[in-house]
Amino acid sequence: MFFAQNLKYLREQARESRKDIANILSVSEMTISRYESGESEPDLQKVVDLAFHFRVTVDDLLVRPKEPLFIRNIRFLQKKYGIDDKELALLMGIKKSNLKHCLMYGIENFAYCQENKSRLAEFFGLKAWELHLKDLSKEGV
């Protein structure tokens, strides 16, 4: 199940705070934090309410990862090789704050992300297109 990561991703994409979502569901901010960390899960009605709010299906919220494949691949590679965000930014030749924008709002939205993704792919022995089109966690990279 991908509920925790999808909720966080959708909330951030909508540029809403945990407090905003807590108000919609009539729960505390701490409850939303626990949902996003996977410590707890909402009841079915709250899942339906969230799906309605974000204009996605319940299936999209629970089952399918909403995070783009590129970002999932970057996070997979970071975990596999023990690379933190600061080191990743250095590998790409960008500031850590710019890396956050690349990962949060999509690499295609920022020229500095696009220009430096090939450096990152090369570091991991990949072609730039592989970061976008292959699920590296299933490829055994």
Residue with tokens 């992300």: 113
Structure pTM? 0.54
The number of CA neighbours under 13 Å toward the Cβ of 109 is: 11
CATH value of 69-139 in 1.10.260, 3.30.70, 1.10.3470, 1.10.287: 1.10.260
What pLDDT digit, counting tens, does each position of 104-114 carry? 656 555 566 66
What does each of the 141 residues of the chain score in pLDDT, given as a tens digit?
588 888 988 888 788 999 999 999 999 999 999 999 889 999 999 999 999 998 888 988 888 666 677 788 888 999 999 999 899 888 888 888 877 777 765 655 556 666 677 788 888 888 877 877 788 887 655
Q: How many CB atoms sit inside 10 A of residue 59's CB?
A: 9
Alpha-helical segments (H) within 1-141: 3-13, 18-25, 29-37, 44-54, 58-62, 69-81, 85-92, 96-105, 111-123, 128-133, 136-139
CATH fold for domain 3-62: 434 Repressor (Amino-terminal Domain) (1.10.260)
* Residue 56 three-state SS: coil
